[in-house]
Amino acid sequence: MDRESRINELISQMTLEEKVSQLSDTSAAINHLGIPEYNWWNECLHGVARAGIATVFPQAIALAATFDEDFVETVAAAISDEARAKYNEGVKQGNRGRYWGLTFWTPNINIFRDPRWGRGQETYGEDPYLTSRIGLAFVRGLQGNDTENLKLAACAKHYAVHSGPEKLRHTFDAVVSKKDLFETYLPAFKALVDGGVESVMGAYNRFQGEPCCASNYLLKDILRGRWGFTGHVVSDCWAIRDFHENHKITATPEESAALALNAGCDLNCGCTYPQLTVSLKKGLVTEEAINTALKRVLRTRFKLGMFDPPHKGKYGKLGRKVINCEKHRKLALKAAEKSIVLLKNDNGILPLDSNAKKITVVGPGAANAHTLFGNYYGVSPRFVTILEGLGEKVKDKYGINLEYRQGCLMYGDNNASNAEFGTANIADVIIAVMGLDGAIEGEEGDAIASDSNGDRAYIELPPWQLKFLQKVSAAGKAAGKPVILVLTGGSPIAIPEDIADAVIFAWYPGEMGGAAVADIIFGDTIPSGKLPITFPASTSQLPPYEDYAMKGRTYRYMTAQPLYPFGFGLSYTSFRFDSITLSAPSISAGASVKAKVTMSNTGKRDADEVVQMYVSKDDKSADDPLSSLRAFRRVFVPAGKTITVEFNLPAAAFETVNAEGNSVLMPGSYTVIAADAAPVPVSVEKGATVPVKAQIRVNG
């Protein structure tokens, strides 16, 4: 019997109550049909979360900073190995509880439109194209290469137009133009649907008045209609309860359940779908609608092999030996190294040389393991803090005297007498580790030190940290000694430009993060990460947080000069873009053009660089993007060598989204730009390589 016949046969033998029992995240066992209980709620944002020991990779925003699709897919494949192994072991031991399943509510492909959003760390940044490419790579790594026999089921969330404020997410109505919707908020979701993602999760908020988990426009018209999505839709957790309790769209749970089911939400994470039996009795839903949702969720379980004999199939032999194995720990180290961004390096202070015999480490992040996690994390038997990483690095290799002073608190001001730092404390170099951790930024309820439900009211370095850092900086300048600032966090942090001689942004770098930071500082690894989000110079540059219009946001629409631009990141060598040539002077619908970029490593170290291709319409309107990332590639360039990198740009790379939300090919002149950061004036000023440009004519 084929799969669809088996599904129909099972449904035909179920009572109404049994059918409804399968449409919640805690799906009950139906023993007489051989259906085991199953909990749909599982997380693996940057490693299997909340299910005991697992390899903790750098947070999602850090993985995006690698600008390396193939590598991200490798990381996701390692995560899926551990997830399958946990599931296999759990089934063997009779554990079918939450976080031990095969349906993972990952990745988060919302656009990080505002750096105050505490959950922006879960995303792949502010750019729709980068988010699409990294998201697709992650899905491929999780699901495997067999669409009918999934390794795991990935989930694109939170659909759609969802990025804070956390405090308002259960009541907020996001209103945007069709241009912004289809130009910024939806492209990544469409890309993942086209790429075969198995499920989509609806958002908590409303969109244009409709709850996202019951939006006919989002779920019926776009997701299943225009895009042809055939997988299952799941609600965010207790989002359907919000319909009657917070959004006030419905009056009762049975009305909320019916509204969601009829719009195409198949699975409820929460407590509302058991009321579907009442909804049916009241004529609010049909049994056919229940059967349709049931077919979709059962189809996913069949694809995952849940009705096959235990431990059979291509993934049945994965066991506990793969969980947090040495190979995965090394991969976590490599991921952290590739993601760390060097933002500043005056006078080539970094990497440190052997003349630095005394190092003083200060700051509340140095010995703080929470700066490694981010949110939605697992537990590793060993988390290497930045202080530990530095200590291990100098233990034998350098014979350096390493001292540590916390100096100030992570979450609030301390007594002034405990925050002094003068020239008497000066070493050959000072390494200050400051920034954020998950207690300050994160999801509503998790960020216990946040005054804004996990969001940030301001993007500047917390004032109590800045006050101490200013003392450190002043002492360093007075003594003529350099200050290296290491920042941790999942979102942009605005700092005074003269506060340190070198600045490293480490993100939430995972279990091996401290070792990676030490490798960067001492030059055993050359920094190559790039910013997947613009770092504004101050909070005052940002539009109102609740405003979802893209005007003034991200490198595509922001006219103010940022502190650091999207795509930016320095190296310990130097690069030069020599030329760009296009295979044709013009392009028409359905065609493509090849762009060849010649670049050289003009320094003394072999290193990676990320070549970024941007397109800008020369005669743009006021609401068109200033430029848009259309391709990128991480390449290795030996010292003193020149390479050529070729990109294929389809006509779609030159399309404009009009006021009706339609992508159209507007005739005119366009500029194709090869760069290593977004082409804003401040890029080269900060140390980015001078971009090269070519003109092309687009035919209507």
Selected catalytic residue, list 180, 183, 255, 441: 441
DSSP-derived 3-state class of residue 125: coil
Burial class (CB in 10 A: 0-12, 13-18, 19+), 199: buried
Distance, in Å, from the CA atom of 251 to the CA atom of 646, rounded to the nearest integer, reads 58
**Rg of the chain's alpha carbons, rounded to an integer?**
26
Take residue 181 and report the two structure tokens written for it.
């919707």
**Integer angstrom CA distances of residue 40 from 78, 91, 140, 213, 241:** 21, 14, 20, 17, 18
How many other C-beta atoms lie within 10 A of the C-beta of residue 34?
A: 9
Contact 300, 233 (CB under 8 A): no
Q: Strands 358-362 and 401-405: what pairing?
A: parallel
Of the residues 236, 455, 460, 519, only one is catalytic, namely 236
Q: Which is nearest to 505 in space by CA: 520, 515, 525?
A: 520
Whether residue 446 lies in the annotated active site? no
Contact indicator for 181, 190 with CB cutoff of 8 Å: no
Q: Are 690 and 677 in contact (CB under 8 A)?
A: no
Q: At what angle do helices 128-143 and 69-92 cross, to 10 degrees?
A: 40
Starting at the edge strand found earlier in the chain, the sheet holding 401-405 runs 341-345, 502-507, 483-488, 429-435, 358-362, 401-405
Q: Any idea what DSSP says for residue 100?
A: S
| C-alpha closest to that of 101 among 4, 199, 18, 8 | 199
- Give the dihedral of Cα atoms 631, 634, 635, 637; nearest 10 deg: 120
Question: What are residue 118's phi and psi, to 5 degrees?
Answer: -65, -25
661: three-class secondary structure by DSSP: coil
Nearest by Cα to 159 from 108, 83, 123:
108
Burial of 409 (0-12, 13-18, 19+ CB in 10 A): middle
For helices 3-12 and 287-303, angle between their N-to-C axes, nearest 10 degrees: 130
Strand (E) positions, 169-238? 173-174, 199-202, 206-207, 210-211, 232-234
Q: Is 85 left (phi over 0), alpha (psi -120 to 50) or beta?
A: alpha
- DSSP-derived letter for residue 635 is E
For the question of residue 676 being annotated catalytic, the response is: no
- Pairwise CA distance, residues 45 & 363, whole Å: 28
Residue 240 dihedral angles phi and psi, to the nearest 5°: -70, -30
CB atoms within 10 A of CB 652: 12
Enzyme catalytic residues: 236, 441
